[in-house]
Amino acid sequence: MLTETRVASQIELYGLMASFRQPEPLLAAARRAHSEGYRHLDAYTPMPVEGLADAIGFRSNAVSRFVFCAGLTGAAGGFGLMYWISVIAYPHIVAGRPLNSWPAYIPITFECMVLLACFTAVIGMLAMNGLPQPYHPVFNVDSFERASRDRFFLCIEASDPAFDPVRTRRFLEQLDPEEVMEVAP
């Protein structure tokens, strides 16, 4: 027992990973792990699993809020730009209409909103999920390639305050996984 603890702690670990053959046990395991207090955990599946994001404690997505603000900024900017051009910078009467002919500004306003919102969505998504990422420790596990085929993985990361190499391994093993593997950093 004592030696086991020492050996495990001597090897630097990224985390422990359990593999499952079906999505349902993974979902149950993720719920258990979250209720046990683990927070630094991630699940890897070959297809979307209903409720999994919820189970690992994913609550809300900050990207959507950034996108909303960017959309508002884009709309205000687009409208402001059109207003500045037509009313302040180049005040020309066209077709007898008032200078501030706002219906004509709407398409540009809409396009600027979409432009800024889309850029923010793509760049914000990449910035916040850490992609592109040329190296990730989970690929050190040999069988992990099956995450894109027919296996479901749950990884509890060593950075979790509740993580303990021995206790976490024992916890994962009682969840009835196919296998529990150490993930080298």
Partner 1 sequence: MTPDALLALWERWSRIAGVAGIVLSLVGFLINREQFLRSYLFAYIYWTGMGIGCLGILLLHHTVGGKWGLVIRRFLEAGARTLPFMAVLVIPVLMGLSILYPWARPDAAQDPAIRSKTAYLNVPFFVLRTVLYFAIWTVYARLLSKRSEEHDLTGDDRLIRHMRALSAPGLVVFVLTATFAFIDWVMSLEPEWFSTIYGVMFLVGQVLQAFALTIALLAVLSRFAPFDKYLTAQHFHDLGNLVFAFTVLWAYLSFSQFLIIWAGNLPEEIPWYLRRLGPGWGAVAVFLVLFHFAFPFLVLLQRTVKRRATLLLKICVLMIFVRMVDVYWLVEPAFYPSRISVRWVDLATVLAVGGIWLSLFFWQLRTRPLLPMRDRRLEEAPRETVAF
**Binding to partner 1 by residue 68, rule CB under 8 A?**
yes
In angstroms, what is the minimal distance from the CB of 60 to partner 1? 8
- Write down the least CB distance from residue 77 to partner 1, Å: 19
Exactly one of 24, 58, 80, 98 binds partner 1 (CB under 8 A); that residue is 58
For the record, the structure tokens of 63 come out as 């990207």
Q: Which stretch binds partner 1 (CB under 8 A): 14-22, 32-40, 61-69, 159-167?
A: 61-69
Among 63, 70, 116, 154, binds partner 1 (CB under 8 A): 63
Site stretch for partner 1 (CB under 8 A), options 4-12, 30-38, 62-70, 137-145: 62-70
| Interface with partner 1 (CB under 8 A), residue from 9, 22, 35, 61 | 61
Contact 87, 105 (CB under 8 A): no
**Residue 5 makes contact with partner 1 by CB under 8 A:** no
CB crowding 93-121: b at 16 or more within 10 Å, else e: eeeeeeeeeeeebeebbeebbeebbeebb
Looking at the DSSP bridge assignments, the partners of residue 153 are: 19, 44
- Give, as ranges, the residues between 22 and 51 that touch partner 1 (CB under 8 A): 48-51
Cβ distance 156 to 172 under 8 Å?
Answer: yes
How many chain residues are in contact with partner 1, going by CB under 8 A?
Answer: 15
* Order of strands, sheet of 179-183, starting from the edge strand that comes earlier in the sequence: 41-44, 152-157, 15-20, 179-183
**Ranges within 108-137 binding partner 1 (CB under 8 A):** none
Q: Where are the alpha helices (DSSP H) in the chain?
A: 2-10, 23-35, 52-55, 62-83, 106-129, 165-173
- Under DSSP, the state recorded for 85 is I
- Closest CB 179 distance from partner 1, rounded Å: 27
Using CB under 8 A, list all residues that contact partner 1: 48-51, 53, 58, 61, 63-64, 68, 95, 103-104, 106-107
